């Protein structure tokens, strides 16, 4: 199955003006989304809209200095009080040692059904 494109960024918790959340829509190379350096937030979130409703068999996540990631999914047709479903539970992308030593900050992880 061909990848489904992300249509647009619905919302985000924070962004660096030089590295906005819209960079996640980029198809022409690696452009990171980073949080605002003045806010020093320990947690960032982004809500993305896919171009169409699709079954998700796998997802690739590019890491740019993120320690953990969790992926939740939902449908735009759901009521506002219906919670998202966890697609990928919180997983470690960088160890505490990597973070302290500023190592292994970049990479890609593929998550697919039944594996991480």
Condensed to tens digits (0 to 9), the pLDDT of residues 58-85 reads 888 888 888 889 999 999 899 989 999 9
Question: Looking at the chain, how many residues does it have?
Answer: 116
What's the CATH code of the domain at 65?
2.60.120.260
Q: Would the CA dihedral through 7, 10, 108, 110 be positive or negative?
A: negative
Q: What's the burial of 93, exposed, middle or buried (CB within 10 Å: 0-12/13-18/19+)?
A: buried
**Structure confidence at residue 116 (pLDDT):** 56
Condensed to tens digits (0 to 9), the pLDDT of residues 11-23 reads 999 999 999 999 9
- Domain residue limits at 94: 56-115
User: Which tokens in the block code for residue 67?
Assistant: 């320690």
CA distance 26 to 115: 27
Please report where in the chains the tokens 């980029």 appear, as a residue: 26
> 65 with 40, same domain?
no
Mean pLDDT of 34-46: 85
> 64 with 18, same domain?
no
> 50 with 60, same domain?
no
């Amino acid at each position: 199955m061909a990848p489904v494109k992300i249509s647009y960024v619905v919302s985000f918790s924070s962004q660096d003006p030089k590295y906005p959340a819209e960079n996640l829509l980029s198809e022409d190379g690696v452009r990171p989304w980073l949080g605002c350096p003045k806010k020093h937030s320990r947690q960032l979130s982004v809500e993305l809209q896919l171009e169409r409703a699709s079954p998700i068999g796998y997802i690739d996540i590019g890491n740019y200095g993120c320690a953990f990631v969790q992926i939740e999914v939902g449908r735009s047709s759901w009521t506002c009080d219906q919670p998202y479903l966890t697609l990928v539970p919180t997983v470690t992308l960088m160890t505490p040692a990597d973070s302290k030593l500023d190592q292994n900050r970049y990479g890609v992880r593929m998550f697919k059904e039944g594996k991480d």
